[in-house]
Structure 1
Amino acid sequence: MPKFRKSLRLPNYDYTRPGFYFVTVCVQDRACLFGECTDGVMQANSAGHMIERTWLELQKHYARAETDRFVVMPNHFHGILVLKDAVSMNSVEALGHGLPEIVRAFKSFSARMVNSLNRTPGLRVWQRGYYEHVIRGEQDYLRIVEYMENNPAKWSEDSLNPSNVMA
């Protein structure tokens, strides 16, 4: 019998709506592909820097997308994506391109870049799916920014740190 996955998305929410979205994407099998945290500071390797560049370049490919704060961790990524209102854009720029499409593109573009760098064509880089949170106001935004800024310093306690997974 097939296993059904519970959706993490808000029921009946339109993810093409303008707004601020917090996204977390995790590496397959928690592999630390993007660098390491040393003394509370993230030291990104070449793959980690590619993740940064891919994130920042999303706004070149998607007119409604604006990248905000982000952090690359050894085996996951957190970022805030802003979807701008399409009213001021021409109809071609305003088409679709909601959060799911943009995150899919980020995962696809970055996986190709990492696999090219590591000479591992076709290797699965990211876990299926992603976590998202619709940011609901300034306090919510500030809480998330603080979380991201403190994430490297709390790596030793992070649930995504492979050292914290019980065998």
Structure 2
Amino acid sequence: MTWKYHKQYRLPEFDYSSNNSYYITVCTKNQQPFFGEIANNEMYFSEMGLQVTELILKENENLDYITIHEFVVMPNHLHFLAEIFIENNDFKIPVKGLHPLVPKSISSFTNHLKGKLKRWCNENDFKTFEWQARFRDRIVRNTEEFESLRNYIRNNVQTWSEDPENEKVRKH
């Protein structure tokens, strides 16, 4: 099967199913605040925001290869800090260009999470909901970076007024 060429957003020649920690940001299409709103430094979840929170918690309980160490659902995006650990996980050299998702990779996990929420939305009359096509990732390099990202996630609601994903900040 031939795959259409597309700009690479992942680190070339890195195995995203390898035992590592990853920082992921997933946005809604056009930064729409589907998940709720922030007021007085507190997140007020919409029904959809509650559902994505529940999905993340369920996935964290049910999957044996990934642990979500920290996550936050914001009005128009979510962040999570995940670790993949698979016993005897051998390095696989990734194929360049687009290819099918590698099972038990961070891309596979993220795309399945996005798909589950979209399916729930379609079944519950939230048919206008859409995700941004891709997601941003960062391979966590060391313990200091892990703790810094964990703190960022924990404080994200309180720093919403300065967040680049906040529509009010983007307009200025």
TM-score bracket, shorter-length normalisation: 0.7 to 0.9
Q: CA deviation at 1:51?
A: 0.6
Does the alignment pair 1:161 with 2:136? no
Instruction: Give deviations 1:107-132, integer Å, cap 9, x for gaps.
Output: 00012223433x133x4521011001
Q: What TM-score comes out, normalization by structure 1 length?
A: 0.84
The alpha carbon displacement at 1:155 in A equals 1.1
Distance 1:5 1:161, change over 3 A: farther
Please give the secondary structure, in 2, of the residue aligned with 1:12. Answer: coil
Q: How many aligned positions are there?
A: 156
Looking at secondary structure, tell me which structure has more helix per residue: 1
Map Cα deviations across residues 95-146 of structure 1 (whole Å, 9 max, x no partner). Answer: 83211111110100012223433x133x452101100111111100111011
TM-score (normalizing by structure 2)? 0.81
Greater mean deviation of Cα atoms: 155-164 or 133-142: 155-164
- Structure 2 segments unaligned to the other structure (5+ residues): 90-101
For 1:59 and 1:159, how far apart are their aligned partners in 2? 27
Deviation at 1:164, TM superposition (A): 2.4
Corresponding residue for residue 145 of structure 1: 150
Give the drift of 1:62: 3.6
Q: Quick one: which of 133, 138, 150 aligns to 1:133?
A: 138
SS of residue in 2 equivalent to 1:105: helix
Residue pairs, 1:1-167, within 5 angstroms: 6-59=7-60, 62-87=63-88, 96-117=103-124, 119-121=125-127, 123-166=128-171
Instruction: Determine helix, strand or coil for the equivalent of 2:171.
Output: coil
Amino acid at match of 1:27: T
Partners of 2:119 and 2:58 lie apart in 1 by 14
Distance 2:84 2:105 in 1: 8
Encode CA deviations 1:14-41: one digit per residue, 9 max, x unaligned.
Answer: 0010111111000011110111111112
Poorly superposed stretches of 4+, deviation over 4 Å = none
The sequence identity of aligned pairs, in percent, is: 24
- RMSD (CA atoms): 2.2
Deviation at 1:63, TM superposition (A): 2.6
Distance change in 2, residues 1:66/1:57 (3 Å): same
Structure 1: gaps spanning 5 or more residues: 89-94
SS in 1 for 2:108: helix
